Chains A and B, each alone.
Chain A
Amino acid sequence: MKFLIIGNPESRRSILFESALRKSGVQSVDIVPHMDLLSGKTNLSKYLKPGVMIRIETSGENERVERELIRLGASSEDDILCETLTSEKYEKGLILHPRLWYKGFSEYLQRIYSCVKSFNSTVCKTEEVSFMNAPEEILKMFDKSLCHKMFRENNIRTAQSLGNVASYDELQSKMLEKKIFRVFIKLRYCAGASGIVAYQWASERSLESATTTVELTRKNGEVKLYNSLKIRKYTKQQDIKDIINCLCIEHVHVEKWIPKSGGSDNCFDARFVVINKKACHRIARFSSGPITNLHLGNQRKVVDSSWISQSIINEMEDTAEKAASLFPDSFYSGVDLILPRNSTKPVVIEINAFGDLLNNVEYKKRSTHQYQTDEILKLRNNIVIPAYETC
């Protein structure tokens, strides 16, 4: 079996997946860098061979690639930005045009898809090139508002959404109207903890706070937002207003903030990696604040019956699998769940197309990547891999 990884070759993800493939016995693994495809240095069609399976990796962690994607997104609507993007100095952590990034990413994935489609229809009609995760579904998973709508329509429990919000003022009037005074604001097109704000407002007391991964800076009157590893809590209205308005320009998804279950002085959410329709690797992330992402230094714990009841774990598995099933052409995804305080019924927070990297977490003695590659080979070849049979 042949594999093609489209990714950043230097990234841990590409390296780990390739090594998992090799361990599963796959000999033919090519890697084509995002950068080369985006810059036109190479053409995807050169890499397409009959029967190849493509894994598209995240473009993140590589600033040049991210910038190319933004430029691609801006090309149809903002010539000036395209120009300045080239000259603009790279600033670590700056939240840079996520809406345009998504537009560019969509365009880029569309090109990949078209190339494969035309290969399949003209060159190779017997052994088609396929994707581990279909580009169309990767894009859907990157759209938080769309995912929320899909979950709702399919009776998968999610937090109530406040609909489209274009500004701080509109957010407050929606909060008043719906009588929801604690919300999570997230960038609509984005992954991870970038641009997350846990906002609460006591309208009658004009009291508000925003706990966030965003760092606000003002320079010569210009507001800039940075991703930060330090969680900050803003309590001044003008700061909060600037942050929210700035995020709204990039489009936001706003949901009710549900009190999460937790331990002695913390709360948690859980990431379930669903592989081939089955909830496999799972990890809970504990935080003493509302934002639980792991790279922010939060504690983690394997989800098992030593601390949470098996019936709740089963519910979580079912919910994660149900959420993933809305993306039938995706072999894997990462589903984030919370358990509302006192509840036994989990709520889906989001689904991540590249949510399968969980360090040092095993399922049936295999890493997320190893489990995927073994499963794919099993499916493809209908063979059993002896080394793991005893697991």
Chain B
Amino acid sequence: MTIGKNESFFNGLEIKIYSEIDGISDKYAYKIMVDYDDEENGLTIAGKFKDLMNDPQISDMQALVIGSWEEAFDMSPDDLFTSIIENSDKLQNLKALFIGEMTFEECEMSWINQGNYTEILNSFKGLEVLRVRGANGLKLGSVNHRSLKTLIIESGGLDSEVIMDLIKSNLPSLKHLELWLGVEDYGFNGDLKTLKPLFDNPFPNITYLGIKNSEIVDNVASYLANHAILEKIDTLDLSLGTMTDVGGEALLSGSKVNSLKKLDLHHHFMSAGMMKKLTGLSIDVDITNKNEDEDDWRYVYVSE
């Protein structure tokens, strides 16, 4: 499986591809990208970003989505990041930023070149939502940000350094955290130990914890099933990974699972028997997208 569809909404707003004619309102999220037609017409992401910044209503923009840029897996977005930072005064109302909104046909997730988000977060003090797709070259740095409520990092293979930076970060408002760990083949080099501090010393206001698209999800589930963090959060999202009956059993017998509102396990490898047992839990459990082992080879949702 892969990401095949472009997103239609971001941070609750419908995504519109920016055009000078339609301009900007605070009712939409605006997306810029360079597609094949643009490339043929010699357009670049730098040029498109400049046009966007020159829009008279730019300061109304609430949410910005950056889609594919030219040869996204060979070109780093550093220049784009610099431009975004340079224009932070114009983007004073920007609440939500999504960089790397691409499907597998545009650029496979683990190939997307990302950049250093330290300065972006420093320059956008009011940012509430940051969503990043692709983690190649991704740097977070230890962040001190008082407004950020949602952080989503989608990857096919996440480097431990990003997780360790996150552990060192001060994010007092963070409610929703999603980390797509991915697989070793595409750069995931951590283990349960890397993640433990995130669970043991959680962000103070966290209510949604997602450890997704992971091949170590059974271990994570076993560790979390009796963990105090489950009393703090509403939703535990272990979806898109390779969960088997091992993880399922751990959650089922876990002492803290019933304090959750929702347990999201969709895309998994659990047996029908285990699924039935899980639906018996008194909380909301998503166990859709059951997968079958292919020659004993289990796969996460995005491994590319």
A residues lining the B interface (CB < 8 Å): 179-182, 200-205, 207, 235, 258-260, 262-267, 288-290, 340-343, 345, 347
Cβ distance A337 to chain B, nearest Cβ, rounded Å = 13
- Tell me whether B103 and A259 are in contact (CB under 8 A): yes
Which residues does chain B contribute within 8 Å of A342, judged by CB atoms? 17, 33, 35, 37
Bound form: Cα–Cα A86–B211 in Å? 59
Bound form: Cα–Cα A182–B74 in Å? 10
Bound form: Cα–Cα A388–B35 in Å? 44
**Stretch binding the partner chain, chosen from B1-9, B48-56, B191-199:** B1-9
User: Which secondary structure dominates where chain A touches chain B?
Assistant: loop
Beyond A202-B74, A267-B4, is A343–B35 a contact (Cβ under 8 Å)? yes
Which residues does chain A contribute within 8 Å of B71, judged by CB atoms? 179-182
User: Among A207, A259, A265, which residue has its beta carbon within 8 angstroms of that of B111?
Assistant: A207
User: Among B4, B36, B113, which residue has its beta carbon within 8 angstroms of that of A343?
Assistant: B36
Which residues does chain B contribute within 8 Å of A182, judged by CB atoms? 71
Residue of A whose beta carbon sits closest to that of B5:
A264
Cβ distance B32 to chain A, nearest Cβ, rounded Å = 11
User: Among A207, A265, A290, which residue has its beta carbon within 8 angstroms of that of B3?
Assistant: A265
- Tell me whether A259 and B73 are in contact (CB under 8 A): no
A-B contact sample (16 more), CB < 8 A, given A262-B5, A288-B1: A180-B71, A181-B71, A200-B108, A200-B111, A203-B74, A207-B111, A235-B185, A258-B36, A259-B35, A259-B105, A263-B4, A264-B5, A267-B105, A289-B104, A341-B36, A341-B106
- Tell me whether B35 and A262 are in contact (CB under 8 A): no
CB within 8 Å of A: which of B93-108? Answer: 103-106, 108
Which residues does chain A contribute within 8 Å of B5, judged by CB atoms? 262-265
Which residues does chain B contribute within 8 Å of A262, judged by CB atoms? 4-5, 103, 105
Cβ distance B105 to chain A, nearest Cβ, rounded Å = 4
Bound form: Cα–Cα A118–B256 in Å? 89
Which residues does chain A contribute within 8 Å of B1, judged by CB atoms? 265, 288
CB within 8 Å of A: which of B67-123? Answer: 68, 71, 73-74, 103-106, 108, 111, 113
Beyond A181-B73, A259-B103, is A340–B37 a contact (Cβ under 8 Å)? yes
Bound form: Cα–Cα A202–B112 in Å? 10
Which residues does chain A contribute within 8 Å of B106, judged by CB atoms? 259, 341
Cβ distance A216 to chain B, nearest Cβ, rounded Å = 19
26 contacts between A and B (CB under 8 A): A179-B71, A179-B74, A181-B73, A181-B74, A182-B71, A203-B74, A204-B74, A205-B136, A207-B73, A235-B185, A258-B36, A259-B68, A259-B103, A263-B5, A264-B4, A265-B1, A265-B4, A266-B4, A288-B1, A288-B104, A289-B104, A341-B36, A341-B103, A342-B35, A342-B37, A347-B36
Bound form: Cα–Cα A258–B39 in Å? 11
Q: Please report the number of residue pairs spanning A and B whose Cβ atoms sit closer than 8 angstroms.
A: 70
Bound form: Cα–Cα A265–B17 in Å? 20
Bound form: Cα–Cα A264–B1 in Å? 11
Total B residues in contact with A, Cβ cutoff 8 Å: 24
Cβ distance A97 to chain B, nearest Cβ, rounded Å = 33
Cβ distance B103 to chain A, nearest Cβ, rounded Å = 7
Cβ distance B96 to chain A, nearest Cβ, rounded Å = 21
Bound form: Cα–Cα A179–B106 in Å? 16
**The 6 residue pairs across chains A and B that have the minimum distance between CB atoms:** A265-B4, A340-B36, A259-B105, A342-B35, A259-B106, A181-B74
Which residues does chain A contribute within 8 Å of B6, judged by CB atoms? 341
- Tell me whether B105 and A265 are in contact (CB under 8 A): no
Bound form: Cα–Cα A262–B103 in Å? 10
Which residues does chain B contribute within 8 Å of A200, judged by CB atoms? 73, 108, 111
Which residues does chain A contribute within 8 Å of B73, judged by CB atoms? 181, 200, 202, 207
Which residues does chain B contribute within 8 Å of A290, judged by CB atoms? 105
Cβ distance B19 to chain A, nearest Cβ, rounded Å = 12
Which residues does chain B contribute within 8 Å of A201, judged by CB atoms? 74
- Tell me whether B4 and A288 are in contact (CB under 8 A): yes
Bound form: Cα–Cα A61–B104 in Å? 34
Bound form: Cα–Cα A341–B33 in Å? 11
Bound form: Cα–Cα A355–B185 in Å? 39
Residue of B whose beta carbon sits closest to that of A181:
B74
CB within 8 Å of A: which of B137-152? Answer: none
Bound form: Cα–Cα A342–B39 in Å? 12
Which residues does chain A contribute within 8 Å of B111, judged by CB atoms? 200, 202, 207
CB within 8 Å of A: which of B14-45? Answer: 17, 33, 35-37
Cβ distance A124 to chain B, nearest Cβ, rounded Å = 51
Residue of A whose beta carbon sits closest to that of B31:
A342
- Tell me whether A343 and B37 are in contact (CB under 8 A): yes
Bound form: Cα–Cα A342–B38 in Å? 10
Which residues does chain B contribute within 8 Å of A264, judged by CB atoms? 4-5
